[in-house]
Structure 1
Amino acid sequence: MKNNGDTKQKLLQVTREMIDQHGVEAINMRDLGAKLNLSRTAMYRHFKNKDDLLAAIVAGNFEMLNRTISRLSEMGPEPRQLVYTILLAYYDFGISNPEHYQLMFRKQWDKEMYPELVQSAFFIFAHVEGCLQKAGTIRKSPNQSTAIMYAFIHGLVELNMSEHSETEKGLDSPAHLIDSFLDLIFV
């Protein structure tokens, strides 16, 4: 490795690949070090422990999702269409990256230890809430509506991940469900 920055980036890249191929449970510092031909000391120069490493992966995932949402917002659609597009992007991310999605949302990351990660996660919530404030034509407060949307989209992702998206239940078309759900939010 050329320098510490390269080593850290390579650690993140290999960790991401291992998560994609074998799941989060397969990650351990010893195997990562062996795979990259790094000593234990070199590994711990970059990350204090496995949680620190995984927190960096999660922060990167939120940053990627935030960039996607920012790009969608720059296209300038009206608020309802923008919220629809954001929810669909969120859903697609969860379905396309199930291991990463679970790592992001099935663990409560400590606000004191990982403030940037928590702030990055909150950006999405705040962005949707801001869209709803601009819309002005919603049935509940922007905060309540955003919280309800979070519960809805996470539930939809979880149903799909657990293979409970049966046609007979009307759960086979996420785009249609998101659109119908927004009918309940917007006036």
Structure 2
Amino acid sequence: MTSTADRLVVAAAELLDNGGEAAVTLRAVGAAIGVSHNAPYKHFAARDDLLAGVAAADFRTIAESFRQVRGSEPEPIECLLAALDVVVRFSQDHPARYRLLFNNPAIAATAGPLSSAAEEALSEFAAIVGDGQAAGALPATPTDHLAILIFATAHGLIDSDASGRLRPRTGWADLGDGLRTLIGLLAKPQ
């Protein structure tokens, strides 16, 4: 059986998807799952705590997707592109939640489960980058540095694409073209 806290997190994620961050209040989330307006406060001291719960759940989901990609794609460059596609699809399917994960400093500063979940996702991504390095397909530089650089660049491309500024300037058919260009610049000939 799902706990009330878990149900609140799911309801908050749905409100984020449908109305953005402004739609998420503890009262609205309580109403969405049919509990009193005070019930959410038994699980989350404030709205930011609830939003951190949503972000932690999403980071865990992304980490699991990275693990699945890593276990299913034998070619290191294709594995890295598939992992980046996970993030792109999440940003397109859940733009408000993506912004919560990567553009909200107040939520990012939350310690505890959110920090652990974010670190888990980053570690899984770094493992994919490390696999590419071990196969000789990516530059031999500190893995965490390269992983952060790739991820931050991908985030910049995602953000530019979401704002509508990317494609008219580049002529790329989609964001994947930009990510393939990025990884192509890094990839070593085999």
Is TM (by shorter chain) over 0.5? yes
Residues 145 and 185, structure 1, Cα contact 8 Å, conserved in 2: no
Residues 19-70 of structure 1: per-residue CA shift (max 9 Å, x gap) = 1110011111122233444335421221121111111111111111111111
Distance in 2 between residues matched to 1:17 and 1:111, nearest whole Å: 21
Residues 1:71 and 2:72 are matched in the alignment:
no
CA RMSD of aligned residues (A): 2.2
Question: Where does structure 1 lack aligned partners over 5 or more consecutive residues?
Answer: none
* Alpha carbons of structure 1 residues 41 and 168: separation in structure 2 relative to 1, 3 Å: closer
Question: Where does structure 2 lack aligned partners over 5 or more consecutive residues?
Answer: none
Structure 2 equivalent of residue 160 of structure 1: 161
Where do 1:104-183 residues align within 5 Å? 104-108=101-105, 109-110=108-109, 112-113=111-112, 114-139=114-139, 141=141, 142-183=143-184
Residues 80 and 129, structure 2, Cα contact 8 Å, conserved in 1: no
Residues 19 and 100, structure 1, Cα contact 8 Å, conserved in 2: yes
Q: Which amino acid aligns with 2:149?
A: I
Q: Which amino acid aligns with 1:176?
A: D
Structure 1 equivalent of residue 186 of structure 2: 185
Where do 1:77-92 residues align within 5 Å? 77-92=74-89
Q: Which amino acid aligns with 2:109?
A: D
Distance in 1 between residues matched to 2:154 and 2:123, nearest whole Å: 16
Residues 67-89 of structure 1: per-residue CA shift (max 9 Å, x gap) = 11111111142211111111122
Q: Which amino acid aligns with 1:134?
A: A
Structure 1 equivalent of residue 39 of structure 2: 42
Distance in 1 between residues matched to 2:169 and 2:28, nearest whole Å: 45
Distance in 1 between residues matched to 2:117 and 2:89, nearest whole Å: 21
Report the secondary structure of 1:151's partner residue.
helix
Q: Which amino acid aligns with 2:174?
A: S
Residues 79 and 134, structure 1, Cα contact 8 Å, conserved in 2: no
Q: Which amino acid aligns with 2:52?
A: A
How far the C-alpha of 1:100 sits from its partner, in A, is 0.7
TM-score scaled by structure 2?
0.84
* Alpha carbons of structure 1 residues 34 and 84: separation in structure 2 relative to 1, 3 Å: closer
Distance in 2 between residues matched to 1:85 and 1:76, nearest whole Å: 8
How many pairs align?
184
Identity of aligned pairs, percent? 24
Residues 29 and 50, structure 1, Cα contact 8 Å, conserved in 2: yes
Structure 1 equivalent of residue 29 of structure 2: 32
Residues 111 and 118, structure 1, Cα contact 8 Å, conserved in 2: no
Q: Which amino acid aligns with 1:138?
A: L
TM-score scaled by structure 1?
0.85
Residues 52 and 110, structure 2, Cα contact 8 Å, conserved in 1: no
